[in-house]
Amino acid sequence: MIDRPARDQAAQALRRLISGQITNEEFEFSEPETSDQAVPAIYDTAWLIYHDYSVHKLTGRYRVSPDVKRETIRWIVFLDGADEYIWPKIAWPGSDPRKRVRAGGAWIRRLLGQLHALSPDEAAAFLAAGDYDAWPFASRADLKRAIRSPRRLHGKRAA
């Protein structure tokens, strides 16, 4: 289910966050209520690109790296598009589940933290849903198609 108004609102807020126009707190409060699972998945993952111990913009020492910005732009292209979100619900889905698999006993879970770690079954089920390297898209083909024809630039030509 695609909630176009919610995705548009989320895409705009994410663009404003990574460009340093709004604070992390303003971004958090901008999350629209929706049944479209892409929106909370992306908001949940976006939490990883800023610190929540202070209110700040992503400028100066808080500026995101070019790699993080590139990845975030992929999320915006997804929100701007018409692809269904097919991934199972987990915390921080944009944080590579392959690196978050719980190992061994209780001591490692305490070290990693319960919220960071996934069971091997949780990680496997999530990764079986699609090509993780294209997340939040289901596949690289979907990502490439969306990049070739982005909704916000559709029909516009450079002079």
Write out the chain's pLDDT in tens, 159 residues. Answer: 999 999 999 999 999 999 999 999 999 999 999 999 999 999 999 988 888 789 999 999 999 999 999 999 999 999 999 999 999 998 888 888 887 776 554 544 455 455 567 778 888 898 999 999 999 999 999 999 998 877 765 555 444
- Amino acid identity at 129: A
pTM for the predicted model, two decimal places: 0.83
∠115-119-124 over CA atoms, to 5°? Answer: 120
Kindly state whether residues 95 and 29 are assigned to the same domain: no
Judge whether 80 lies within some domain.
yes
Burial environment of residue 90 by CB neighbours within 10 A (0 to 12, 13 to 18, 19 or more): middle
**Cα–Cα dist 128/149, whole Å:** 27
**Cα–Cα dist 27/50, whole Å:** 10
CA dihedral for 109, 67, 26, 79, sign (positive or negative):
negative
Any residues with CB less than 8 A from the CB of 24 and at least 6 apart, and which?
17, 50, 51, 52, 55, 56, 57, 58
Kindly state whether residues 10 and 63 are assigned to the same domain: yes
Kindly state whether residues 76 and 98 are assigned to the same domain: no
- CA 111, distance to chain mean position in Å, is 25
Count of the separate structural domains present in the chain: 2
Kindly state whether residues 30 and 68 are assigned to the same domain: yes
- Residue 114 structural domain: 91-128
